[in-house]
Amino acid sequence: MLQIKHVSKIYGEGATKVVALNNVSLQVNKGDFIAVMGPSGSGKSTLLNIIGGLDCLSSGEVILEGKRIDNLDENDLVSIRRGKIAYVFQQYHLLPSLSALENVLLPLTFCGASKERDKAADMLKKVGLEKRAEHKPSELSGGEQQRVAIARALVNEPSLILADEPTGNMDQKTGGQILHLFDELNKDGHTIIMVTHDTEIARHAEEMIVLQDGQIIDRINRERRGE
Amino acid sequence: MKLYQIVAKDILRRKKRVIYSALGVVVGTMTVIGILTIALAGEARIYNQLEKYGPNLTVIPAISNVDMRLGDLSLGTLAVGENYISENHLTDIRQIADGEIRQALGIQDNVNIATIAPKLYINTEVNGISVIIVGIDPPEENKIKTWWRIREGKYLDRGDQALVGVVAAELLGLKVGDKVTLSSNDTTVSGILDESGSIDDFQIFVPLVTLQKAFGKEGLISSIDVRALCSACPVEVIADGINRNIPGVRAVAVKQVVAAEMGMMDRVNKLMLALAGITLAVGLFGVVNTMMASVNERINDIGIMRAVGASRNQIIKIFIYEAIIVGIVGGIFGYVAGTLLAYIVAPLLFEGTVITFIPQYLPLSLALATLIAVTATVYPAFRATRIKVADSFRSL
């Protein structure tokens, strides 16, 4: 469903030039759960941002469901964000003035969808937070905030979920619960690309992709891991 | 959930910031509303006095009066030598005045409409002090001088009575019942006028006929005040008619004299509005600044909203909704503060102005404040949506 062909990303020019991604190619199939690994500065997040259209690439192609999305204008990107791709961030990125339920509602609000409240409530239930619906993000724990963020990502029924270090701000136990949630989502048929620097976390994925200095240096699937 | 609900919740969270933004708007609208209120009150005051006091036009001998002018400013007229109008013209003047009013208002009957008050001024000595005696038609004069109040005694009702201005009474030592000798004729003081702050305070009023007889001026008058008690009365037309048809007199519409004062006010108002405009511009910069800061501190929120599917237009709309709320809050406070400003400043500019809330300035204030707030918001909001979503998170 997703093809990344010879993608490069270069920041700055001349002496300050930084190559964040160097000719990266990748194929992701429907239902895949892929972990992108690598030390910090290896280009993991940049890759994720480029796939999701949050950042633009310097060269190469990104093809989602048969359509190029790397050269879209803002309006087309908006429609991709409204249905095809959803994000889960390390810092949760919830709006502080809205309750948990309202944060989940947000994508539907921007779409102008109807019967939205029921759907948002369902999603909160799915992540086990139906009792915290009216709480503001500041009144929720890190794990709870991330669950809200995951519910928000799911509410538009995206074909692809991009997660950037979703457990990076959590202790092991809470992080484990969140990862379990991702496992569940993957079992339900969601395609997930998750960035992490932690091998343990990456084990949840079917396939690990190791990035270093902007290049894929290794791909490890479950068979190779001996699982 | 609707966009405006997102805005409302966000504003409730950031009350202080929103109030701070509104302050700039308040300062701008306050100045404009304050100045407009002062200007309106100043004009109303002049029109009020015009309505309330005195004649709509004055008829004077044509050749004996010299207009005293200083540039555009009328300083009144200066009478040179002894010149009179024949009493016979009174009927002609009444015909012209009533005729024009009838025509203008479509009145059919023949009742007298305009008040026509002839006057004869004689400068003489009473009790050894030089004083101006004014011969008047008592009932007509009473209709014109609506502000006259009798302090002691009664108004004139017989030929041998005199009405004395309060200052004149004091200077000449006159009391009700005292004798005033005009040439060789005696009159009795029937009443003393209350202070009016006008020239009337210094004068003695006697019936016209009495004065004419005493000084041998039978059939002569110095001036005629004409007053038509309606705002739609064609004063200029009446003045024109008198000037064209009656030789030897000149009719001057008092409005023309007032026009000079109005012209002066107009120029002052324009100057003040220019100052208000500058204040508005300075206020606008202030609001642009706070709005810029307000947008910048929410770059992250903007990134979140765009990452979950908000379009650029929706983001700009969110900021415009916020600006409209800032505008409405600022407009209401600007309106109240502007009126208060006028209340404090107006008495320093024009004595006796009355400042009230002017309801039709409230929508103006709201519109102005909203315009300022929206104008100040559009650019920062537009710029914020040009940032790449990934960069808006990175800026943290």
| Pairwise CA distance, residues B78 & B3, whole Å | 73
- The ipTM of this complex is 0.91
In the sheet where A33-37 sits, what is the strand order?
Answer: A85-88, A160-164, A191-195, A33-37, A207-212, A215-221
Which residue type sits at A70? D
pLDDT of residue B321: 93
As a whole number, mean pLDDT of residues B301-327 equals 92
In the sheet where A59-64 sits, what is the strand order?
Answer: A18-28, A2-11, A59-64, A67-68
pLDDT of residue B396: 44
- Per-residue pLDDT tens for B362-387? 999 999 999 999 998 988 889 888 88
pLDDT of residue B50: 64
As a CATH number, domain A31-53+74-225 is 3.40.50.300
pLDDT of residue A138: 93
| Pairwise CA distance, residues B168 & B153, whole Å | 16
| Pairwise CA distance, residues A158 & B307, whole Å | 13
Best residue of A47, A49, A54 to probe chain B, by most B CBs closer than 10 Å: A54
Residue A9 pLDDT more than 70? yes
Domain boundaries, chain A: 31-53+74-225
CB A82 within 8 Å of CB A110: yes
pLDDT of residue B369: 92
Nearest to B388 among A56, A78, A81 (CB): A56
Q: Answer whether B389 sits within 8 Å of A152, measured CB to CB.
A: no
Structure tokens at B289: 């600044």
Residue B344 pLDDT more than 80? yes
- N-to-C CA span, chain B: 28
As a whole number, mean pLDDT of residues B208-222 equals 90
- Per-residue pLDDT tens for B189-208? 999 999 877 788 889 999 99
Nearest to B308 among A56, A91, A152 (CB): A152
As a whole number, mean pLDDT of residues B98-117 equals 80
Residue A204 pLDDT more than 90? no
Query: Higher-confidence residue: B80 or B151?
Result: B151
Query: What is the nearest CA distance from B285 to chain A, expressed in angstroms?
Result: 28
- Per-residue pLDDT tens for B261-283? 677 778 878 888 888 888 888 88
Question: Mean pLDDT of all residues in chain A?
Answer: 89
Which of A29-38, A159-168, B171-180, B268-277 is predicted least confidently?
A: B268-277
pLDDT of residue B72: 54
- Per-residue pLDDT tens for B240-253? 888 888 888 888 87
Q: What is residue B33's DSSP assignment?
A: H
* Residue A191 dihedral angles phi and psi, to the nearest 5°: -90, 130
Nearest to A55 among B305, B311, B388 (CB): B388
Q: How confident is the model at residue B99 (pLDDT cuts 50, 70, 90)?
A: confident
Which residues from chain B sit within 8 angstroms of residue A162, using beta carbons?
none
Q: How confident is the model at residue A162 (pLDDT cuts 50, 70, 90)?
A: very high
| Conformational region of residue A15, where left means phi above 0, alpha means psi within -120 to 50, and beta covers everything else | alpha
Query: Higher-confidence residue: B71 or B13?
Result: B13
Residue B3 pLDDT more than 80? yes
Q: Answer whether B2 sits within 8 Å of A109, measured CB to CB.
A: yes
Residue percentage of chain B with pLDDT more than 90: 24
Residue B73 pLDDT more than 60? no
